[in-house]
Amino acid sequence: MGVLTRRAWAVTGVLALSFGVAACGSDSEGSGGTIELKIAANAISGGKNAEEADWIENWVIPHFEEAEADRGVDVKVTFEPSGVDDEQFKSRLALDLQSGSGPDIMSLDGIWLGEFAEAGYIKPLSETSPDFESWDGWDQIPEAVQQLAAFDGDLYGIPWGTDGRVLFYNKNLFEQAGLPTDWQPTSWQDILDAGEALGSLDGVTPIQLNAGTAMGEATTMQGILPLLAGTGEEISSDGSWTGASDGMEQALGLYEDIYGGGLGDPQLQQETQGRDKSFQEFAENKIGILAEGDYFWRSVVNPDNGVAPMEDRDEAVGYALIPAAQPGQGVNGQDFVSMSGGSVRTLNAASDHLDLAWDLLTFMNSAEAVTASVADTPKITARTDVNEQVLADDPMLTFINEQVLPITIFRPADSLYPQVSTLLQEATAAVVDGDSPSQAAEDYQDGLEEVVGGADHVTS
């Protein structure tokens, strides 16, 4: 049985109230044939993702309006900035979309695609923009990165940027511990050995491998998932989720080796500000090895504008590929692994001007526009041609682009993923707290079966 629709409720309420507060709502259609388009992103000038916000306001909007005016189209583009937690941004966006309103173009985290598509808020490009395949930009976006914008085999938008995960290490500490400063471990044992050596230094936490729910998605992305990939497994394959598998137990086993063996700081994983503090400690030469994405390099230890700046970043911070448990044991038989995420720009299925919105979307993803967006702080974009230009001056980002992206894998854009991710975080927390890996894996499997609807959807 269906339920009362939102509108039925609202109309009942409004009639019952007959309240005199009818402020004038603005229609998306402006006066005199001007078409209005709105872009939304979790970015705001002077705050979170400020570069993206400034770029949209100062570059995209004037340039697009001008280009359209030359074509004789009168269009007014507005930007709706926000600067909040991603979950809150997602909830508010969903509220807008379920009411049939919302922006024409929006930035989504790749892992939200499934939920938004299932709810009908976004539609495959083949429906909204029938000639989407003729866009010349697709040639520049690698097949793997395009998967960021795909759900159930359909493309829902254009991927915007991506990232990769590595092991950062502090060369100062490595030198003090008698370790090589051009370090590249080839197995988990190598990491543990380096941790043991670092353990001899006073006041130094050898390894920071994110664990627990306080770190949130950072535990999944920088912790358990790359480890799982290092055992040759993925979190979901062929529509089935990975449960208490051998790989899962082995990955949790590394947590036990690190946190049970005194190589990590268990309390830091539980603190609400644990991740912030781990960054600060790394910058203060108190943490030896830390698994993170390139975000760490760009926005955390960046001497110019990082939250935990390191004046000597370029000399003191090393980075190495994350090794598989044993050489060749990683997914697809790889020696090294990584995980990647990224954001996608999509069209609102309820937009009144889908054609023009698609024009704006491709305009925003043109080589010229993407280059302008990363002019000040280089970032890995979805476009190979742009990456080749803008990353050249940054050895770290070039490393990610050339060494990491070819071996990386993405999370499933499934609507159940956020809950599975929480279960994984809880499993790591249990191990850090002293549970055995097999016990934690078993509990995880129980929770997983409940979330995904039975044991048939779980492989172990």
Footprint on residues 322-381 left by other proteins (CB under 8 A) = none
What part of residues 282-301 is at the interface with other proteins (CB under 8 A)?
295, 299-300
276 lies in the site for other proteins, by CB under 8 A: yes
Residues 6+ apart with CB under 8 A from 189: none
Please identify, using beta-carbon distances, which residue of 142 and 447 lies nearer to other proteins.
447
> Which segment (75-83, 172-180, 344-352, 387-395) binds other proteins by CB under 8 A?
75-83
Contact 187, 410 (CB under 8 A): no
71 lies in the site for other proteins, by CB under 8 A: no
Give the torsion through C-alpha atoms of 210, 215, 219, 223, to 10 deg: -10
Contact residue for other proteins among 29, 34, 74, 120 (CB under 8 A): 120
Residues 6+ apart with CB under 8 A from 220: 411, 421, 424, 425
154 lies in the site for other proteins, by CB under 8 A: no
Contact residue for other proteins among 63, 92, 171, 353 (CB under 8 A): 92
260 lies in the site for other proteins, by CB under 8 A: no
Please identify, using beta-carbon distances, which residue of 19 and 32 lies nearer to other proteins.
19
Nearest C-alpha neighbor of 216 from the set 274, 137, 134: 274
Contact residue for other proteins among 143, 178, 238, 272 (CB under 8 A): 272
99 lies in the site for other proteins, by CB under 8 A: yes
Least CB distance to other proteins at residue 292 (A): 9
Q: Are strands 154-155 and 75-81 parallel, antiparallel or unpaired?
A: unpaired
**What residues are paired with 337 via a beta bridge?**
322
Nearest C-alpha neighbor of 227 from the set 202, 256, 247, 200: 247
Please identify, using beta-carbon distances, which residue of 96 and 234 lies nearer to other proteins.
96
Residues 6+ apart with CB under 8 A from 223: 209, 210, 211, 215, 255, 291, 428
Q: Is the dihedral of CA 119, 120, 124, 125 positive or negative?
A: negative
104: its two tokens:
């024409």
> Which segment (94-102, 225-233, 253-261, 366-374) binds other proteins by CB under 8 A?
94-102
Binding mask 24-63 for other proteins (x = CB under 8 A): xx------------------xxxxxx--------------
Please identify, using beta-carbon distances, which residue of 150 and 191 lies nearer to other proteins.
150
